[in-house]
Amino acid sequence: MKSKDRSGFTLIELLVVIAIIAVLIGLLLPAVQAAREAARRIQCTNNLKQIGLALHNYHSAQNSFPPGISMTIQSSLTGGTGGGPDYASWNGWSAQALMLSYMEQAPLYNAANFNVAPMAGGPWNNVNLTVENAVLATFLCPSDPNAGAGRNYTNSYAASVGTTTGTSIYSWDQGNAADNQQGITDSSGLFTWAKSYAIGNITDGTSNTIAVAEWLVGDAKATGVVNTTASTSPSHYRANLEMNDGNTASWGGGQPGYFDVSTDPLTIRNQLKVCGTVFASDNTNVSDFKGWRWANGAFGFATFNTVQPPNDTVGGCSNGQSAGGWPDNCWTVGAASAHPGGVNTLMTDGSVHFVKSTIGLNIWWALGTKAGGEVISADQAF
C-alpha cells in the first residue's frame, strides 16, 4: 500500500526557517535604520543650507546679517510690568523670523507685527499668535523626536553668540525710566542683542566662524506639554537645562560675572563639569524649555553659545533658577543633535559641516568667535 506524499513542513523545518528569517532581520534592521538616519541627517543639512542662503540674501539686501535678537517692546497694548514699555531681550524677534521673506515665507513675514514682541499669552499680547505658533519644517531636525511635537518645541536650529555667556546679553539701562530697558550688547559671535554684524566684522574668516548650529529641544517630560512649574520628577534628558548649578561666578547678584570665555577659561571649564555633575542628580531644578519657539530670539529659544562642547551631557546651565525658569536665564546653552557622533553646523560662508562631539573645546571656542584672532585648520575643526 502506497503512503501519501508529504505536504508542508515538519516542525523542525519550520523552526529552521523562522531562525533564518530572524537572523536576516537582525542583520538587515541596523542597515535600514542607518539608511534612514543618513536620510534624516541629509535633510537636516539641507535645512541649514536653506538658512545659510537666507542669511546671505538678507546680507545682500541689508548690507549686514540680521540681529540675533531684535529690539522690540513687550506690547503696545499692555506695556511692561512697571507700566512702561518693556525693551528686554526676551521680547525680541529671532534672526530666523527676520529672514522669513528670504525663505519663501513672505506671507508669514507679512503677518508678523515686528513692533511688538512675538510672545503671546500671560502678560504678553496675542498680536503675533499665528506667527509664534507656526511650525516650519525648515526649522525642525527630522532626527529629533521631540521637535515639532504638539506645536511646542518648534526650533531645532540656533544662532550663535559665540563664546559670550548668555547672561551677558543682559545690559540694563534704566536711564529713560522705561521698564526693563536694555542697552545694545556686543558678543564674540555672529549674532547678538539689538545689533547687526556684517561680513567686514568677521576677521577670523567666514569659513571659520559658526553662524547657526542644531540643538536638541527639551523633552517636556514634566507635564507632557511644557514644564511651566517646578517638577518633582524632572527628566535628566541631555537636552534639558540645569537651572541651579551653583555658579556664582557667571551669575552673581543678578549680574554676569564673566562676559566671555576668554575672561577666565579655566573657571569656565571647571564650572561646566560642576553643572554636569549637579544635573545628573538634581530632582527639583531642571527645565525643559530649550528650543520652545523659533520666533523668539531670546537665549535658549533661538540663540546659543559655543561655551560648552557639542553633545554635552546637559543642555545648558543657570544658577538660582527653578525648574520653571526660562532658558534665557542660562549662562550657557549648547549645541547637540540626535545624529550619532556630532552636530550639523552652518558656517558663515554658507557651508555646512558635521562637527564631531570629540572636537577640542579650544577649537570649538575658536569657531564660535568672529574676531578672536585664533588660527585653526580644517582638519582640526571638521
Instruction: Express each pLDDT in 159-184 by its tens digit.
Output: 999 999 887 777 665 555 556 677 78
What is the rounded distance in angstroms from the CA atom of residue 176 to the CA atom of residue 170? Answer: 16
Give tens-digit pLDDT for 267-305: 889 999 999 999 999 888 888 889 988 999 999 999 999
Report the residue count for the chain. 382
Domain enclosing residue 34, as ranges: 23-381
The secondary structure of residue 169, as a DSSP letter, is G
What is the rounded distance in angstroms from the CA atom of residue 290 to the CA atom of residue 333? Answer: 8
Torsion angle, alpha carbons of 256, 257, 261, 267, to 10: -140
What is the rounded distance in angstroms from the CA atom of residue 12 to the CA atom of residue 40? Answer: 42
Give tens-digit pLDDT for 108-157: 999 998 988 887 554 456 788 889 889 999 999 999 999 987 667 899 99
- How far apart, in Å, do the first and last CA atoms of the chain sit? 79
The answer as to whether 12 is a domain residue is: no
pLDDT at 79: 47
The answer as to whether 2 is a domain residue is: no
What is the count of structural domains for the chain? 1
What is the rounded distance in angstroms from the CA atom of residue 51 to the CA atom of residue 69? Answer: 16
**311, 336 Cβ separation under 8 angstroms:** yes
pLDDT at 189 over 60: yes
**160, 305 Cβ separation under 8 angstroms:** yes
335: left (phi over 0), alpha (psi -120 to 50) or beta: beta
Q: Once rounded to an integer, what is the mean pLDDT over residues 34-49?
A: 88
The answer as to whether 299 is a domain residue is: yes
- H/E run at residue 13: helix 11-62
The secondary structure of residue 311, as a DSSP letter, is T
Q: Once rounded to an integer, what is the mean pLDDT over residues 328-336?
A: 92
**Strand bridging mode 316-317 / 332-333:** antiparallel
- H/E run at residue 343: strand 342-347
pLDDT at 255 over 80: no
CB neighbour list of residue 227: distance below 8 Å, 6 or more residues apart: 218, 220, 221, 234, 287, 288, 289, 323, 324
